[in-house]
Amino acid sequence: MAAALVAATSGAGASAIAAPKVVASIPPVASLAAGVMRGVGAPVTIIPPGASLHSFSMKPSDARALDDADVVVWIGDGFEAFLEKPIAALADRADVLALIDAPGVTALKGRDGGVWESHSEHDHEHDHDHEHDDHAHDVDGHIWLDPANAKAITFAIAGTLSARDPANAAAYAANAATMAERIDALDAELAAALAPIKSRPFVVFHDATQYVEAKYGLNAVGAITVSPDRPPGARRVAEIKARIGSLQAACVFAEPQFEPKLVATLIEGTPAKAGILDPEGSRLAAGPELYFQLMRGLATDLLTCLGPEGP
């Protein structure tokens, strides 16, 4: 993989103005918020690294953080479903930023589990103005996995913080500009690194990497399950196993929180290898570097399993 970009984020100096209390839903969102807040403050993350979005239960400390929040940043309705009622009940005094609706964010429609016949049938941009009420059903919420979306998210966070905390607006703007430059460099780095494996077919555990696939032209051919907390039925298992064999899929990816024996069953008797992808950064330390480490980690894991030395 291309050499890692050297961090160059000095940000603004420490501010004498008290920072707003910011709550972010998941580590990738918190990481981008932390980059914008560098030198001013730091967000609180509801779901810590290592926890699963699909099985997380809020603690009393999480409820207190929401109740005290000045700004809440999340993907939006239908993604962090467990947060919908708490935000409505506890964060009534906060500015709530739903990133799925942020200016410049391009959202893709979700795909079904099992075999995907072609990307062209599924990879459609989501029209925020006309389909807002359908988020929970139609939208793939893993928007941070497209660096272009990560840039838009960064500027949206900076704008929301500046409106809430105008005394530190210059710091937020400077930090957002620095983050955007780093994200652009990361995008170019990943495009070059992933180009050699564009044609290599692979299967993911659940449909969490569509944005990476669409951005870099990768060849995912299916997902084992619709959601990690819903075991796939026998029909889907048979369908995916047949797909692996017929397309000679190079790899079947699990996720750190979900490493089922099912993956070993699926690749048995096929040329496929087993790998792990971590789209939420569950193995990483929280902070402004998590986003960059997450994206490079995905590229490294894809290359390790799908690269020229693979099957």
Measured distance CA(249)–CA(215) in Å, rounded: 20
Q: At 24, is the pLDDT very low, low, confident or very high (cuts 50, 70, 90)?
A: very high
Dump pLDDT digits (tens) for 30-87: 999 999 999 999 999 999 877 777 678 889 999 999 999 999 999 998 899 889 999 9
Angle at 92 between CA 91 and CA 93, to 5 degrees: 90
Residue 14: predicted pLDDT:
45
Measured distance CA(299)–CA(1) in Å, rounded: 8
Alpha helices for 59-194 (secondary structure H): 60-68, 84-90, 128-131, 135-138, 147-164, 169-194
Dump pLDDT digits (tens) for 213-246: 999 999 998 888 766 666 777 887 888 788 788 8
Dump pLDDT digits (tens) for 180-207: 999 999 999 999 999 999 999 999 988 8
Q: At 2, is the pLDDT very low, low, confident or very high (cuts 50, 70, 90)?
A: very low
Q: Is the pTM of this model over 0.75?
A: yes
Q: Which amino acid is at 4?
A: A
Using alpha carbons, select from 216, 206, 208 the residue that is nearest to residue 148: 216
Using alpha carbons, select from 256, 293, 291 the residue that is nearest to residue 27: 291
Asked if the model's pLDDT at residue 163 lies above 90, the reply is yes
Residue 51: predicted pLDDT:
75
Dump pLDDT digits (tens) for 248-275: 889 999 888 765 678 888 888 888 999 9
Residues 14-38: what's their mean pLDDT?
89
